[in-house]
Amino acid sequence: MKTPSPSVINASNVIDDGDDIEILEKKPIEKESEPPKKRGKKETSNVWNFFKKIGKGADGIQRAACIGCKQEFKTGGTYGTSHLHRHVSSCNFVSYHDVSQMLINQEGKLKSKKIDQQLSRQLCAEAIIEHDLPYSFVDYKGIRKWIKYLNPDVIMPSRNTVVSDVKKIYEKEKEKLKQEMARIPNRVCLTSDVWTACTSEGYICLTAHFVDENWKLRSIILNFCRMLPPHTGVELSNTILNCLKEWSLEKKVFSLTLDNASSNDNMQDILKRQLCLNEDLLCDGDYFHIRCSAHILNLIVQEGLKVASDALHKIRESVKYVKASDGRMQKFDDCVRESGGVETGLGVRLDVTTRWNSTYLMLESALHYQKAFTRLNLIDRNYKYCPSVEEWRRATKMREFLEPFFETTNLISGSKYPTSNLYFMQVWKIECMLNASLTNEDEVIRDMTHRMKVKFDKYWSEYSEVLAFGAILDPRSKLEFLQFCYSEIDPLTSEVKVQNVRMKLYKLYKQYEKRDEESSSTPQSQLGFVGSLKSTAGSENPIKTENVFCRFKNFKNHTSSSAGKSELDQYLDEAALDSDFYEDLEVLQYWKDVQKRFPHLSIMARDVLSIPITTVASESAFSMEAMKIGSLPRNNSIENPTPL
């Protein structure tokens, strides 16, 4: 008899007192002389497909051994078969765990129950979506052979069938998402980007950003499809408008974030006029167009990098040189070790010239291997791009100068947390930094700053008003923070700028109050106040604690509104939260907690705080390395981070 596995031995130590089961471990079986054969009762339980009777033990009780793990059990008489069923369900050596699902085929062999072909197709389609598999996956000869071996009854769908099943899942999930966005009281913010593939085919991506019913920021790709030429403003606006109508969102748009391409400026102007025809935008679309902050920051820094183009060129060519072949990389690794380094030179990075943040990372990595590049220049005559000592010094100062810009870019490029409340502080910090560097003692930094300041004033001389609202709706800053920032830049004009932002803020808030009044002739607070009075008057015990506090709360709201104080007034009158104690405050969670106090203002906060200040969410759709454009459906909805 084979020795049971450790898991079986552990299981054999368990004695079920309820069924008087005793499991023996490798006890010898004394075989008795064969008695005269008698016709016994026919075994009808399916469990005997997995057990073999081996005779009686020393105690005279019949035993059966599992055909999988060879473990022995007492059977017959009062022992029954329940313990045998339990063993089959847990035995690792038995092919089928659930005996009740086994059938006998025409050859008398075991087979599983009838396969649900519809469920099998659905699971196959979901696997293709989840793992980004091509539709032709189901036609692979090896996959079909493997599935046939596992169960001959499974009918593998064809490629066309899988395409149809994936589209059905897409339509089902799309309808669920449409209903979810229709239920939320707030609006939807958009980002869009156009990209040209290596095959010269154009693609457009439209992403929706909104706060859902659970007060979580969501980013959903509404459409990823071919964009046929010409890529003019008219064609782009028609494509986006048709997509909005398809999703029933044309009346729920709050903003659209775009980069600074000229066609985008024309497109947003046309789209805004189309949406304003039916009064679908708030404040006549004054806050509809948002320029991508990361793109503007890229233009500002690229302008400054032109000053040190010679040093950057040498560093870039140096990195290209050592990465050109394995032989050069091996030689560079030797230089790294001889220079006192313990790691290899694989950490050196090459930049993408159109992305300044990648240039910063290249500078950072190259400076780390400065000694190795210098040593390589001594032993390799073909290496002719080694920067001079002065150029390395200039690169070091550039890296130190650009580090705050790099941190700001990473901070504002998030898509899983609100960024509109971060905009004002980050832009203000950049302006303060540029103003301070205009008088820097280093000529290179001073020249870089002058160039960058000109570009900054072109785009950010006036801060975005709607994104300034985001800072006000952060309970740690409010209007006082704007007053402080403006006074640091220019004390003479700070009061005028603050009053202008305050006036625009109240104008937007009135739109939310007006919308609620139009949807209901009776204000929400009055309904709650009257309703609580009626329920209390009709109850047997009118003096209930919860009713008293509810009535008192409604009374305060009614008194505040009678005194001419709106929700926005009350919010601004309250002291700002101490940032020392609320440094890690989740802004959306705060508004979720106070939504009953500020029903109108909280909806406005949903919209403002869901504005993405960069187009990173849409751009990232073109950077999915595992996904080839040619295998994508013409229309696709993907949620970030989890696909449908």
Query: pLDDT confidence of 219, banded at 50, 70, 90?
Result: very high
Q: Which of 483, 508, 485, 99 is nearest to 284 (CA)?
A: 508
Query: pLDDT confidence of 131, banded at 50, 70, 90?
Result: very high
Q: Is the pLDDT of residue 537 over 90?
A: no
Distance (Å, whole) CA 244 – CA 238: 10
Residue for token pair 């494509």:
239
Amino acid in the structure at residue 149: Y
Q: Which of 15, 14, 83 is nearest to 50 (CA)?
A: 83
Q: Is the pLDDT of residue 221 over 80?
A: yes
Tens digits of residue pLDDT in 518-532: 665 444 433 333 333
Q: What are the domain boundaries of the chain?
A: 190-292+614-628, 304-413, 418-513+586-613
Strands 62-66 and 102-104: unpaired
pLDDT at 113: 57
pLDDT at 410: 86
Tens digits of residue pLDDT in 165-177: 999 999 999 999 9
Tens digits of residue pLDDT in 24-66: 444 444 444 555 555 555 666 777 878 888 888 888 888 899 8
- Which residues, other chains included, contact 643 with Cβ-Cβ below 8 Å and sequence gap of 6+? 129, 130
Q: Which of 181, 205, 211 is nearest to 191 (CA)?
A: 205
Distance (Å, whole) CA 92 – CA 564: 74
The model's pTM: 0.72
Amino acid in the structure at residue 329: M
Q: Exposed (0-12), middle (13-18) or buried (19+): which is 630, by Cβ within 10 Å?
A: exposed
Min mean pLDDT across 149-158, 253-262, 539-548 is at: 539-548
Average predicted confidence (pLDDT) for the chain = 80
- Contact between residue 473 and residue 605 where contact means Cβ atoms under 8 Å apart: yes
Tens digits of residue pLDDT in 404-437: 898 888 888 876 777 889 999 999 999 999 999 9
Residue for token pair 């949807």:
519
Tens digits of residue pLDDT in 478-509: 999 999 999 999 999 999 999 999 999 999 99
b/e 231-268 (16+ beta carbons within 10 angstroms → b): bebebbbebbbebbeebebbebbbbbbbbebebbeebb
Beta-bridge partners for 194: 204
pLDDT at 594: 95
Q: Which of 148, 13, 23 is nearest to 84 (CA)?
A: 23
pLDDT at 344: 63
Query: pLDDT confidence of 475, banded at 50, 70, 90?
Result: very high
Neighbours of 522 (CB within 10 A): 9
Residue 194 phi/psi, 5-degree rounding, is -115, 140
Tens digits of residue pLDDT in 250-273: 999 999 999 888 889 999 999 999
DSSP line for 254-288:
EEEEE-S-HHHHHHHHHHHHHHHTTT-SGGGGTT-
Q: Is the pLDDT of residue 592 over 90?
A: yes
